[in-house]
Amino acid sequence: MAFPDIQSFMALLESRGELLRVREPVSRDLEITEIADRMVKQGGPALLFENVLGSDYPVAIGLLGTKERVALALGVDDLDGLAEKVRNLIDLSGGGSKLGLLSNVTKFRDAMNLPPRRVRNAPVQEVVWRGDEVDLSKIPVLKCWPLDGGPFVTLPLVITKDPETGERNMGMYRVQVMSKNSTGMHWQRHKTGTRHLEKARKLGQKLEVAVAIGGDPALIYAATAPLPPVPGLDEFALAGYLRGQRYPVARGVTVDLDVPANAEFVLEGYVDPSEDWVMEGPFGDHTGFYTLPDLYPHFHVTAVTMRRNPVYPATIVGRPPMEDAYLIEASERLFLPAAQLIIPEIVDYHMPPAGVAHNLVFVSIKKSYPGQAYKVANGLFGLGQMMFAKVIVVLDEDVPVTDFDAVWREVTQKAVPGRDTLTTRGPIDVLDHSSRGWGYGGKLIIDATTKRPEEVGSAASSRPDQAGDTLAPEGFTPRAAQDLPTFDGVLAQRQTPDGYWLVALHKTRAGQARDLAAAFAAHPAAHGIRHLLICDDQTDVTDIQDVWWTILNNIDAERDVWVQGELLAWDGAQKLPQEGFVREWPPKIVMDQDIVDRVDRLWNVYGLPESLR
């Protein structure tokens, strides 16, 4: 199903009981965030705030806040349908016969839906603000978290054009409102927008930019998708393929750029590469930590266009699970066939919410020779945005990669610390606060596949290869001890029945985590344990998702994961300047208590379900 725009999608959600209207006045400063955060974490409905203080426009949030709503938005019964859709397109068959060639006709027809189509009358240009009329404060842009540097547009479709080739790009880069007619432009070093700006600088010209807000949900998803660099394939093309019809675009009123004709708002303007950058942030980011202030390009808004009765769509990011987890899962499904085309032994893969996308990847493979797990992991590190992956766990083909607990049980059974773990280095997401350098750090591969003789140093490794010549699991028996040792700074700890030792540490001195690991590894309680997970003092050791989220955010794998006795120690505590960590350590995102109390007090006034409070 192709939706004409975001409002038609909202109407369908409301008819299905998956969108609630809040008619009471509500603040765009933190309050909407607190309500929306509770909803998405409990799988609740999307919300339409009809009366936002200080603005004439309503705010819609959480529209893609469940797996089912994302599937509905993209026209499939479930997200696995995306993989089938792509697999059918790339699996051209025929064998030379006429009937075989005819079987591809529908696939070519689908591919022809890729290019966008230009329209003259665009709903998003029904109302136009130019020059001094531009006032971004009239748009209900949210301040999401207490330490944010200001209000941020969180679902922006940022459109630029290569100054040399003319190729379009659309990306979802957060946009901080700086004044009534300017914003920051959060183009990170690996992003296409950065390359376009650098080309404009060399040519001595300004770079035109359009920021669309809204459009139909297929386009909003497409702006988040890690598209491969294929000529002619851009975000408009992907949205056209997903919706089964060419995407409608219109030329901007002050920029020579195609903008989505069915958006709610479009901000038009330019970035001057000769101009000094502006300090942007902090921002409560998808990692669940604040991204600290830094310098980014300055976007000047020359015009704002909109519908006569627009809705402002927004999302929030922060501690997982959040709405972005379902967009990430959609990308997993969409690009699985392409990954399998390049690395054919891949059976499935998954990026769990605790890993906030790049920090953790589970991949199952059909294994047929020794070392294959490392071959696959290193291959994944070379695939597009998978280069940012921090920890990759490789599993046998029968392990369900979406079963978080089953995967980690498999790790303790089949991965011996040191023998079956390998650290390497490479690019890291620039939002990662714990890496050894900005955008550069350590990575970890865990081989949790069933081992062949060659991989364990068996005498059988000298024999010629034979079909089925694999070893069974080596008989590790996990055991959780009742009496656990004390140590300076340990606030809470527990052991799990599957071989993990979870520790919350109040760190006050350099080397404290290393000393703790040495002491605990030598203690009898370490018998039956394979992983020691040392977290910061804000971590709930009774919540395994919170533990792994903290660990994966706070480690550089080469520096912070090591073999200690028979344990694999993970130091997910804060790094200190005395340990050579020179960057500022960011805080975790926590909502102000007065906002939490206010929402609790007004929950029933807002007409929200008591079960989701």
Q: Which residues are catalytic?
A: 285
- Residue 311, Cβ density class (10 Å: 0-12 exposed, 13-18 middle, ≥19 buried): buried
User: Count of CB atoms within 10 A of residue 160's CB?
Assistant: 27
- Residue 165, Cβ density class (10 Å: 0-12 exposed, 13-18 middle, ≥19 buried): exposed
Residue whose entry in the numeric block shows the structure tokens 């920021």 = 211
Q: Cβ(313)–Cβ(214) under 8 Å?
A: yes
Q: Cβ(178)–Cβ(141) under 8 Å?
A: no
Where helices occur in 137-247 by DSSP H, the ranges are 192-203, 217-222, 235-243
From the list 326, 327, 402, the residue with the least C-alpha distance to 361 is 402
Cα angle 586-518-360, degrees, rounded to a multiple of 5: 45
**What is the C-alpha to C-alpha distance for residues 303 and 268, in angstroms, rounded to an integer?**
5
User: What's the sign of the alpha-carbon dihedral 136, 140, 144, 145?
Assistant: positive
**H or E stretch including 183?**
strand 182-184
Token pair in block for residue 312: 């402002």
Q: Cβ(350)–Cβ(332) under 8 Å?
A: yes
Residue whose entry in the numeric block shows the structure tokens 């893969």 = 349
- How distant, in Å, are the alpha carbons of 108, 200, 230, 398, 401 from that of 193? 31, 11, 17, 41, 34
From the list 212, 270, 266, 210, the residue with the least C-alpha distance to 239 is 212
**What is the C-alpha to C-alpha distance for residues 115 and 237, in angstroms, rounded to an integer?**
5
**What is the C-alpha to C-alpha distance for residues 427 and 443, in angstroms, rounded to an integer?**
9
From the list 445, 539, 544, 527, the residue with the least C-alpha distance to 489 is 539
Residue whose entry in the numeric block shows the structure tokens 């748009």 = 139
Residues 6+ apart with CB under 8 A from 369: 452, 465
**What is the C-alpha to C-alpha distance for residues 529 and 532, in angstroms, rounded to an integer?**
8
Q: Give how far the C-alpha of residue 493 lies from the chain's centroid of Cα atoms, to the nearest Å.
A: 29
The letter for the amino acid at 415 is A
Q: 46-49 and 19-22: which strand pairing? A: parallel
**What is the C-alpha to C-alpha distance for residues 55 and 513, in angstroms, rounded to an integer?**
50
**What is the C-alpha to C-alpha distance for residues 613 and 610, in angstroms, rounded to an integer?**
5
